[in-house]
Amino acid sequence: MPVEIKVPALGESVTTATVGKWLKQPGEAVKADEGIVELETDKVSVEVPAPAAGCLESHVVKEGDEVEVGAVLALFEKGKTGGAAPAKAASAPAPAKAAASAPEVKAAAPAEAENVDYDVIVIGSGPGGYVCAIRAAQLGFKVACVEKRATLGGTCLNVGCIPSKALLQSSENYHAAAHDFAAHGVVLEKVGLDLAKMQARKSEIVTANTKGVEFLFKKNGITWLKGHGKVEGTGRITVDGKPVTAKHIIIASGSDSANLPGIEIDEKVIVTSTGALELSSVPKRLVVIGGGVIGLELGSVWNRLGADVTVVEFMNHLVPGIDSEVASQFQKLLVKQGFKMKLGHKVTKAEKTKSGVVLTVEPAAGGAAETIEADVVLVAVGRTAASKNMGLEEAGIELDKRGRIVTDAHFSTSVPGIYAIGDVIAGPMLAHKAEEEGVALAELLAGQAGHVNYDAIPGVIYTWPEVAAVGFTEEALKEKGVEYKTGKFPFLANGRARALGMTDGFVKVLACKKTDRVLGVHIIGPSAGELIAEATMAIEFGASAEDIGRVCHAHPTLSEAVKEAALGADGRSLNI
């Protein structure tokens, strides 16, 4: 008796699909799990497989038809041997794909059946790449990951997020012991600095994290292809010149530190973030070129340890893109901590001397130049997509003017079967953004409905105090013409913050004036990076400010400041 082959579940909120192409014709023999028909939705393209070996009896629908989940597509006879396939009947043409259509995806199948080495190859083992590889392996794909470093984890785990946070915490502890403990009745006669031990601790943390990724690769059966990956075309790459093939190739090569023309990086006296993490002594004078996240975080490390830190920023404010009220408060607090600011200035020359570096600086709008002497200069003017020397353009992969790989809404590049995620494509260069894209893409390749909500990607600056934000700023809402209301609550009025002795900063909630839906949350203060998770959850699920305000928050906690700010959007704050 024939078996009905039906439209499978296509993911959350997807109820219909279009019959794209019949892969098997009536009378043809079909192997178990072999694709019979392609279905297309606005999110994915899915191959419907045969439930067992047998013969396709008949098509119930034709190419171009719209079908609902559960509808019968074809009749299939298990175990029956098919004859020669009849001539293909005329069918309606498949609908043209939109420019940003979903990638062609297929259910996981053994790589040997496709005559390739792997189902999925990921180039790059940073947060986006290694998470994508793990998720793909969980979904049944045979996966390999290409990494040229001696350790896994990419920039983030080796010379970025993890080591910088280790030094930030250590330097914060040192500063607190030297300046803050006495207020708590903890009196230390002398506080000393063992920088070598501090650096050793950082290295131990990096090693633990990179070894952790290596363990996860082994646990999930992922092959580490050690060497430099180069893309050759659809399904083909080389690793240190050795050819490797795959059904799907994912580029997750990350980003590199940007530089300024005429400034020679030596990672000793003129350094990027990589060199700034490895200094063997505290510089007396540190100049940070760039008032962004990386420069301010690393500037904070060395400022706490005793360096005289000057920040030179081209713009007239710190950290372009953050809420202007937060940026203003942030600058005041950093100056209070000892930072010197030269905003609205640019560096035109860097000359090495026997004692360090002499920078020539002049106003960005034009004016008289001046010089600044430094023992160490940190160049922190942003990052650029790591898309060079990978054969991308030669393979036909389109890049934009900033060297980023151009992708559609489903991470497909201009070459079929090749995708890209993370810092190497457009969007904020954040490890967690790359991770979300890696998971979404792996699920799309498995026929699921992977998705990333780019309006709910939080950002954190791990200085003191921390700065965190998610959603829209007031400036962005004004530009969009969205009517909004504001709730604001200072940590000075929060009981837990007072007990901690950490009362600088505030929480600001922006909500739609008509619907009360949360549009943005901005925090400057203690544990801002942890507190922002609640706000991110609220935005992801479309919560209102009142929803946050009516949730019971433990007392006394810093999180009560988020609740109070949410209540404040309706003029209902209770403790101010």
Catalytic positions are 555
Q: Which amino acid makes up residue 138?
A: Q
Given the structure tokens 């404010």, which residue do they identify?
A: 317
Give the DSSP letter of residue 375: S
Pairing of strands 236-239, 242-251: antiparallel
Phi then psi for residue 397, to 5 deg, are -85, 125
Asked if 411 and 252 touch (Cβ cutoff 8 Å), the reply is no
Given the structure tokens 């131990």, which residue do they identify?
A: 204
d(CA 226, CA 208): 20
Given the structure tokens 């497909």, which residue do they identify?
A: 412
Give the DSSP letter of residue 548: H
Give the DSSP letter of residue 504: -
d(CA 390, CA 231): 6
Tell me which H or E stretch contains 132: helix 127-138
Helix ranges, 15-123 (H) = none
d(CA 473, CA 482): 11
CB atoms within 10 A of CB 368: 6
Pairing of strands 54-59, 370-374: unpaired
Q: Using N-to-C axis directions, what is the helix angle for 161-179 and 195-219, rounded to 10°?
A: 140
